[in-house]
Structure formats: C-alpha cells, structure tokens
Chain A
C-alpha cells in the first residue's frame, strides 16, 4: 500500500513537472533590459525602458514571435559596470537569453566581456548581447565577438558626419572639446582631434577636457574655461545629467557659441537648454528628427507613445529598430537558440520606421545606416521634446554609403 502511494506520488510529481516544463516552453520570450533605473542617469534609463515596452507591445499585438509574447524584464544596473555583472548573473539564472543595454560604454565593455566569457564556458546556456546605444568604436573593433550586435552608429561614424558639417562652416577657427572621462568620452575627443586635423587643419583645438562622469554638479568652472579660451564652438559627447548640467551652466554663464553634440536633446536636456540654445545647438544621430515633416507611420507612432507616456519622448528610434530586427531574426531562425538567432541576425537588411534601409554588417555586427544632423529650435516643431515647445529640426543627411566606415574586427565564429 505504501509503495503504491509512493509510486502515485512520484508519477504525480513527474506529471506536474512535465506540465510545468511544457507551460514554460509556451511562456513569453523574455528580454532583459539592463540600464540605470536609479541614480544620476535614471531618467535616461526609464525613458529607454518605456520605449522598449511600447515597441514590445506593438509586436505583441501583431501576434508576438513564434506564437509567444515578448516580455521586457528590467534590471537596474545603477550605471555601474560591476552592478551590471551582478545583474547579468541574475539574468542568466532566470533563463533569459537576450540582453539589451545601451547607456554607458563602460558598462557595455563589462557586459560584452562577461557575455563572451560566459558563452565560451557554458555553451548550453548562451546569451545574446544587443547593444542599442553604447557607441565606443572599440566594441565592434578590438573587442568584437560573435554574440554582440550594435544598433547605433558608433562614435567615429557620427564624428565623421559632424566634422563634415563643421568643415563647411568657415567662420569656425577655435574649437573646445569637453567630455566625460571614460571610454566613450575619450573616443569622441580622439576622433574629433584626428578628423578635424584632416578636414580643417586651420582649426585650432583650444581645449580638450575630460570631467568625471555623473559627478560634476556645477559646470560653471568649465564654462568659464571655455569662455576664457576664446572658442568659437564646442564639441561634446556628454549625455544625461552631464549634458543637462553643461547646458544649464552655459546658459547661466553666458556662453553663446554653437554646440556640436551627440545627445543634446530630450530626457530633460531640451528643457534645460531652453530658448537660449535656439539655432545654436546641433545634434548628430541615427534617425531623422520628426520635424519639420515626418512620415505618417512615424507621426502615428509618436502620438500613440505620448498617450501612454505623456512625459516621455520617442528619442531613440534605434530601440524600435533593434527590437524588431531581433524578433525577425528569431522568426527566421525558427528558435530562440542564441547561435542560430545570431546567425540569422548578421547580414540582415531592414527598413526602419521612417523608411531608411539599414544593414547589420556581418564582419563586425555593426548596423550600417544613414546619419542625420539636426538643430535645436522652436520653429516648425510638430513634435517637441520634454513638453517644452522646443525640439529638433532636420538639417543634413549623410547617406548610408558615405556614413559607413571600414570594419576592423577579427571575429571567431562558434563551429
């Protein structure tokens, strides 16, 4: 009698396990989002998370992927490379196979390195790292590997476009470079110096400054230095709280020269720059501004987004691109097996929401795309940022073939 009881118990447990694992197989496709949700850069991280959630909702309403829904699982890394690795262990422990991250190339280096090590040591539980915003060129050059994909033009590609615009402006003679003291800030400075030397050797670099990231609260001393140097223009890669601080101090200190930036819009920056920066602040980015005109599908997307997140902006269309390309790769591979998905993703061509053709280059997993330059202004603004009435208007477009720089990656592929 006891033995019979034991057998039925065992069978019952096995049955439950079978049901549970079957249910697991039909569960959502989880996608981890590892970015700061607290600390100095929380606003940027939250904005990004909302854009991921919105894009995922859209995909789910259209049927999801392989009959399963997408689920975005956020992990707060507090902008720290170390905390990111601790969170990555959780991601892997939870069985999530796809990780998106973008804020801070410092974090990106740590995650990329850790993902490569983990995948090499644990072939049975590989994860794919999708970098949607960390643009230190090294990530697809010296540090490239098979399981990393980047969906944003890297710092050198953007600087090439920016320096073309600077080249055309003959009034500029002295330029000041200021940036955050980490891999990305240094990459921007190095690219600016070398590209300006080739394109406009007559321009003098009157300052090349690095400040601690996320720690400087009062940028007035830096603004004073810029003024004292007699610079005609400023180049900076600052983002998030550092761009807000710099913009505020520049307004307070009366600095009125043109700024050529990577991230001087949205997440509070547009509001901080305010009217003082009209027609003066320029931005280089991977998708066109929605002003003065945008394709209907883009306009509808932004309007729908603002209904859900009235205080947010669609300032990172690369999120939509990255998530959709991943979903397409999973569909093409027919499985969520990471190696097969990666094989499907590399070389993929895609048309973005606003109609640009982009290509995921097979050699280095860098997405190739046209690059846009826009200006901060209050004229012809249909879609503003930060609910401020101010926004970005398109000025220049660099076509994809001109925006592409050669690959410099030696990639080992898994056999």
Chain B
C-alpha cells in the first residue's frame, strides 16, 4: 500500500522540479503540452483499454470542453461572473460530461464496430458544424481567450509559461489520481468485465449498457478537463480540436503507450508529444516514423511500450535483471544500426523529392551527406542490411536470456 502511494508522491515531486532540471526555453511549453496530452490519453484509455470501446471521435469532448471553457473565461474576463483561472478546467470537465452524457445516450447501446462508426459520425458532424455555428465556434478563426484578464485567486496570475505549466501539472496530477481511483471502483472494474465478456458481466447483475454509458460519461468529463487546460495554455480553440486528426492522435499515443495498464497512456502521451515537437525540427517526415512505430506496435507488440516494460517485471522480481544487459545491449546496438540505415534511406528519398535540384548535400546524423551519389545510398542500405541480419542473429540469444531471467526463482 505504501509503495503505491510512494509512486504518486514521487511523480508529484518530479512534476514540481521538472522546469528547474530542464532549462531550455522551449522545454516548458512542451511539458505543458505533455501534461494536456496525458490527461487526454488517460481519459481515452478509459474507453479503449478499460472498456474495450474503440472511439474515433473522442476529441469532440476535448474540443467542446475547451470551447465552453474559453467562452466562460471570456465572460469571466468581462466580469459577468467570478471564476478564477485555476477553476477553469472544472468548467471544461462539466462541458465534456454534459455532451458525453448527451451523445453517449445513444452511442453506447452497442459496442464494437457500430460504436466506432457512431463515434466517427459524431466527430465529423461536430467538426463540420463548427463552420455553421459561427457564434459558438468562431468559424475558421476559432475562439480566442485571455487568461490574464480573468479574476485571480490568491494573487496567482498566469502570465508566464512556467506558471501555466504548474497549473497544468497540478490538474494533470489530480485528474490522473481521480481516473486511477475510478478504475478501482466497482463500476470501473465492471468496465473491464464488460470489455472481456459482456454476457457474463450481465449475469453478475450490471447492465452492460449502463456500465458503458458511465464509462463514456466519465471519459468525456476528463477529456473536457484536458480541453479546458488546452484553452488556458494556447488561448485559442478551433474546429480542428474536435476533428478526426485530433481523435486519431490520441488513439495513436494511447496505443503506442500500451492500453493494458494505467500508466501506458501516460508513457505514450509523453513519448508522442516529445516526438511530435522535437522530431519535427529535425525531419520533415516525422509523422511517417510515428505511423511506422504505430504499425509496428499493432503488429508485433500490441501491449505497447508499457507492455514491454511490464514483461520484465518477473525478471526484476527474481533479482536477475543483470543477465539481460549483455544480450539486450548487443541486440539493441544492431537494431540501432539497422534503424540508422533505414532512416538515412528514407531521409534521402525525402530530400531528393522535396528539395530544389540545386542542393546536393543534407545533414544526416551530424554528417553532411551527398545525396546525389550512389555511394551514400549503398552505405545506408548496407547499414540497414547489416543491422537487420545482425539482429536476426542476436535476437534468439536475447530471447533465451529473457526466458532464463524470467524463470521463477527455484523453490528451496
């Protein structure tokens, strides 16, 4: 029990000191973005991982929560009522909850493909309605808001990025804790049961429809909280926030992180946001890499990053993690070599297709590579092939080491 709390306390501590450890100016906005993504992904996993409901329209509740929060913030700024900025995510959550209940009333009658299609339809419907309902959605320009004009609480204003980060970190922590608590309640547990065997769950005494509906509403609530945080951070909401791209992103990040555990989406959200903001500075085809990573996860490691980590828990418990280091390092290096080769080839293709004909060299892996000669291509192809072949040689050894390390300790 104390170990469980320990994890949460450690997480809170890390969140508090993070801006002081990473001091580059661009880091704080990225960390705020990560916080928002974490809440959004966790809310999505309530549907996908815990409820078995694949939704292609979860961004609707994120967006609607954000729009409502933005309008309320504008009204608070004009003095219509007193609502200090730190309470704004609650408003977003309320908005997400209301619309979750509204749309969930008919979406959750069935699970599976029909549910996915309804969610897609609602998502596209709301995104397209944004142009029609100008007053609420602001048309093409969207709705802007100003977090500095609103009433302050205890003198806390939110002028700098760092102050906004602390607000987001606070709410992300609270939301995560609440969502974890929900997953431990009877309804949360029943959601797992309904996911695995709906008919049997009914025999326990819970209506599967009711359980799905409750999950949907709570997921909508926390998506709305994430939307409110978004409104505070970027001070703009547009129709895009509700569209298929946003719903697709949260699916990608949740799945890559791992839908089978609670912290999987957290991991996925952090990795995805990091790649999205950092990678796009170095390469124009970062979304391709993310898509390939996603496909690889679906095909080979459906349990996601968190799943991979959890697989090694027996080895850790048995006290034999050291045995894995050697074979893993070898296999890892060979994978790295193969990855360098593949990435180099892809980047060179991108360069040849997109750059003007006069440019011939590209900086790849800190080396200026002449893309127009055959040798560069052969070199990277050789790296890719060598890495792949080497991996095929090293993989069985790593697998054997893993099996050996995970073997339960001998009884004495």
Task: Show the binding face of A for B, using Cβ within 8 Å.
Answer: 80-82, 85-86, 89-90, 92-95, 106, 109-110, 113-114, 117, 120-122, 181-183, 212-213, 308-309
Contacts and interface: CB of A to CB of B under 8 A. Distances in A.
- The 10 A-B residue pairs with the shortest CB-CB distance, nearest first, are A93-B26, A182-B140, A121-B159, A89-B29, A106-B140, A106-B141, A93-B25, A82-B238, A109-B141, A113-B144
Contact of B142 (A90, A110, A121, A181): A110
B24 to A, nearest CB: 8
B240 interface: yes
Is the interface on chain B under 10, 10 to 19, 20 to 34, or 35 or more residues? 20 to 34
Contacts of A309: 356
A181 B131 contact: yes
Contact of B139 (A92, A93, A113, A181): A181
B237 to A, nearest CB: 8
Contacts of B356: 308-309
Interface of B: 24-26, 29, 33, 131, 139-142, 144, 146, 148, 159-161, 234-238, 240-241, 277, 281, 356, 358
Contact of A94 (B26, B148, B161): B26
A95 B25 contact: yes
Contact of B358 (A85, A86, A308): A308
A121 B160 contact: yes
B144 A181 contact: no
Residue among B24, B139, B237 with the highest chain A CB neighbour number at 10 A: B139
Contacts of A94: 26
Contacts of A182: 139-141
A183 B159 contact: no
Nearest to A136: B141
Contacts of A117: 146, 148, 235
Contact of A80 (B25, B33, B240): B240
Contacts of B281: 90
B240 A110 contact: no
Nearest to A185: B140
A95 B25 CA distance: 9
Given A90-B26, A114-B236, A122 B141 contact: no
Contacts of B29: 89-90, 93
Contacts of A95: 25
6 contacts: A81-B238, A82-B236, A92-B25, A94-B26, A106-B142, A183-B139
Given A81-B238, A89-B29, A212-B131, A121 B141 contact: no
A224 B313 CA distance: 67
Contacts of A183: 139-141
Given A81-B236, A121-B160, 20 more contacts: A80-B240, A82-B142, A82-B240, A85-B234, A85-B235, A85-B236, A89-B29, A90-B29, A90-B281, A92-B25, A93-B26, A95-B25, A110-B141, A110-B236, A113-B236, A114-B235, A122-B159, A183-B140, A183-B141, A308-B356
A327 to B, nearest CB: 24
A67 B33 CA distance: 38
Contacts of B142: 81-82, 106, 110
Contacts of A81: 140-142, 236, 238
Contacts of A106: 140-142
B235 A86 contact: no
Residue among B140, B240, B241, B277 with the highest chain A CB neighbour number at 10 A: B140
A137 to B, nearest CB: 15
A274 to B, nearest CB: 26
Nearest to A80: B240
A292 to B, nearest CB: 30
Contacts of B161: 89
A82 B131 contact: no
B184 to A, nearest CB: 35
Nearest to A95: B25
Contacts of A308: 356, 358
B294 to A, nearest CB: 19
A309 B141 CA distance: 33
A112 B144 CA distance: 11
Given A81-B141, A82-B142, A122 B26 contact: no
B332 to A, nearest CB: 31
B213 to A, nearest CB: 31
Contacts of A110: 141-142, 144, 236
Contacts of A92: 25
A93 B278 CA distance: 12
A120 B358 CA distance: 43
Contacts of B25: 92-93, 95
Nearest to A211: B131
Contact of B241 (A82, A90, A114, A121): A82
A102 to B, nearest CB: 16
Nearest to A84: B236
B236 to A, nearest CB: 6
